A and B are shown apart, each in its own frame.
Chain A
Amino acid sequence: MGVMDQILEKAVEEEEAVSYDVLVVGGGIAGESASLDLADMGFKVLLVEKEPSVGGKMYLLSKVFPTLDCASCISTPRMAAVSHHPNIILHTYSEVLEIRKLSESDFQARILVKPRFVEDDCTGCGQCEKVCPVVVPKEYDFGLRGRKAAYIPFDTAVPKKALIDLDHCIFCGQCERTCPVGAVNFLQVPKVVKVRVRAVLIATGYELFSIERKTEYGYGKFKNVITAMQMDRLLAPTRPFNAVLRPSDGKEPSSIAFVLCSGSRDRTLNNPICSQVCCMYSVKQAQLLMGALPLADVTIYYMDIRAFGKGFEEFYQQAKAMGAMFVKGRVAKIEETENDDLVLWYEDIENGGRISKAVHDLVVLSVGLKPNSEIVEVFKGEVLERDELGWIRSRDENVNPVETSIKGVFAAGCVLGPKDIPDTVLEAGAAAAQVAAYLNEVGV
């Protein structure tokens, strides 16, 4: 058991004090959008996010397809808005432990608020981080560089407050001695807050498919095989490296391959479905790479290009016109050469299906999405249903997509199935409207 788990075991249960109209679980773009819509309608919202900042995956992206707008520029104002809205109470670094339906439109929820070991006086100056001597992989950069055990999640985190990762702390006290406002407090204790809410909205999003499982691709073993999420980080304004460079030695890549459908449409990995966003985010990244590295070759290995949305086909054609090469063929395996380059073996469908190989110096696995729906386990008494692949099941996909198997519990965004940001925001708006209708119907 880790140090933090030992401390969390001693959480202090608080008496039930407050009630809200809606509990929104998950502070990605879906949860933020729905919370803001509901709060603007006058409903009192409790938004619970498990990470130390809101923002979800969108904040971490470079630009968004097909408009190529800056992702963090769009998401930061929303992140700030949820923390300032008078009708929204935000608990970050918190976990929902239990949701129990007592009667119609009456749910009791228990929420674990974890200690950050840093008081709210923290000004986010980052001095604790500078002096902390322990370096561990930074989650928000998917391990591409390090962070300290005392750290601020990222520059525009909401809230922009430091926290101490006790599982990696060596208890040297440097952070505490350095903090100019005396905000570090190792004696903070976890608390369990009990609340009553009238409706619940699940917006816990997705996780990346665990592509280590496809051992033929060597992810985790070959340094220059990265995921598309890592590539989006490399292309973002808040990027972990000073340029797009390969992790094995910091060289600027000259030949980059994308392997589409990594972990999607793959029965051997028990994930037969299309992740819906990988074709377009790969086309986006290809265009951005050709801008960042004009001399580099970009090759996309694909089964089919699914460019189904507004402006997507044009976006795909634009990438081709810019010089991205599209090779129809499934990649069977990847090998590493002595100088950290990678050999891709693939079925060359347009040349009679023969087995071909090509060498690249950086490979991006366009990894699919998997549901982040473990939240179903906190429901007591009634079952929040999932489909056979683990996505939350809609009450009726055609006419009631955002209602779930429990009346009064709604869902929005990628927890219902893979989708892009515009569809996620639309669904969040729809869910907010349905929650409002439900609350008005059941009355106070």
Chain B
Amino acid sequence: MSERRSTVVQLRNRSGLKPSKENVELMRRSKEVQTAITKALKDGPKTVPEIAKATGLSKDEIFWHLMTMHKYGVVEPDEKDEAGYFRYRLVEG
């Protein structure tokens, strides 16, 4: 690794900075929720209540992460059901 490419290591060494427990937990939780959502959507598009049933996670947390995944192009909306819920599917590739 060139010197230019290791500035994060230099910063860590220089200032003794460590990732905080809270930030590690944030990362762990978002990974856990997003992996569960991805897994639930593998067998076809689902609404938030359907994902909640499949994963056991709360609907608001699922929806928040789903919309974040939508921003980053991981999921996209499909058609809406009669109760007013969109189904979401994984973006191919």
Distance of B81 from chain A, by nearest CB (Å) = 10
> Which label, helix, strand, loop or mixed, suits the secondary structure of the B interface?
helix
In the complex, the answer to whether B23 meets A250 with C-beta atoms within 8 Å is: no
CA A250 to CA B67, docked complex, whole Å: 9
In the complex, the answer to whether A171 meets B11 with C-beta atoms within 8 Å is: yes
Q: A145-B68, A252-B85 are in contact. Are A171 and B8 (CB under 8 A)?
A: yes
Chain A residues with CB below 8 A from B15, complex form: 6-7
- Selected from A6, A146, A169, A249, the residue in CB contact (under 8 A) with B23 is A169
Q: A186-B10, A249-B60 are in contact. Are A133 and B86 (CB under 8 A)?
A: no
Chain B residues with CB below 8 A from A57, complex form: none
Is residue A134 within 8 Å, beta carbon to beta carbon, of the partner chain?
yes
In the complex, the answer to whether A182 meets B4 with C-beta atoms within 8 Å is: yes
Interface residues as binary, A427-442 with B (CB distance below 8 Å gives 1, 0 otherwise) = 0000000000000000
Chain A residues with CB below 8 A from B20, complex form: 3
Chain B residues with CB below 8 A from A223, complex form: 60
- Selected from B4, B48, B68, B71, the residue in CB contact (under 8 A) with A249 is B48
In the complex, which residue of chain B has the Cβ closest to the Cβ of A253? Answer: B84
In the complex, which residue of chain A has the Cβ closest to the Cβ of B67? Answer: A145
In the complex, which residue of chain B has the Cβ closest to the Cβ of A130? Answer: B72
In the complex, which residue of chain A has the Cβ closest to the Cβ of B74? Answer: A130
CA A392 to CA B66, docked complex, whole Å: 42
- Selected from A135, A170, A250, A253, the residue in CB contact (under 8 A) with B86 is A250
In the complex, the answer to whether B80 meets A133 with C-beta atoms within 8 Å is: no
Q: A135-B30, A145-B64 are in contact. Are A251 and B83 (CB under 8 A)?
A: yes
Interface residues as binary, B66-91 with A (CB distance below 8 Å gives 1, 0 otherwise) = 11101110001100100111100000
In chain A between 5 and 20, which residues have their CB closer than 8 angstroms to a CB of chain B? 6-7
B-contacting 9-mer, from A32-40, A63-71, A238-246: A238-246
In the complex, which residue of chain B has the Cβ closest to the Cβ of A239? Answer: B67
Is residue A168 within 8 Å, beta carbon to beta carbon, of the partner chain?
yes
Interface band, chain A:
35 or more
- Selected from A3, A133, A241, the residue in CB contact (under 8 A) with B31 is A133
Q: Which of B17, B26, B84, B86 has the most A CB atoms < 10 Å from its CB? A: B84
In the complex, which residue of chain B has the Cβ closest to the Cβ of A361? Answer: B84
In the complex, the answer to whether B65 meets A135 with C-beta atoms within 8 Å is: yes
CA A6 to CA B20, docked complex, whole Å: 14
- Selected from A171, A184, A254, the residue in CB contact (under 8 A) with B19 is A171
Chain A residues with CB below 8 A from B11, complex form: 171, 186-187
In the complex, the answer to whether B7 meets A186 with C-beta atoms within 8 Å is: yes
CA A176 to CA B8, docked complex, whole Å: 8
Interface residues as binary, A63-94 with B (CB distance below 8 Å gives 1, 0 otherwise) = 00000000000000000000000000000000
In the complex, the answer to whether A134 meets B23 with C-beta atoms within 8 Å is: yes
In the complex, the answer to whether A250 meets B70 with C-beta atoms within 8 Å is: no
In chain A between 106 and 163, which residues have their CB closer than 8 angstroms to a CB of chain B? 129-130, 133-136, 144-147, 149
Q: A133-B31, A171-B12 are in contact. Are A250 and B48 (CB under 8 A)?
A: yes
Q: Contacts A176-B6, A249-B48 given; 6 further ones with Cβ under 8 A?
A: A145-B68, A173-B9, A186-B8, A187-B7, A247-B63, A250-B66
15 contacts between A and B (CB under 8 A): A133-B30, A136-B26, A145-B67, A146-B71, A169-B23, A170-B19, A173-B6, A176-B8, A186-B10, A187-B7, A240-B71, A243-B86, A247-B60, A248-B63, A250-B59
Interface residues, chain A, CB within 8 Å of chain B?
3, 6-7, 129-130, 133-136, 144-147, 149, 168-173, 176-177, 182, 184-187, 223, 240-243, 245, 247-254
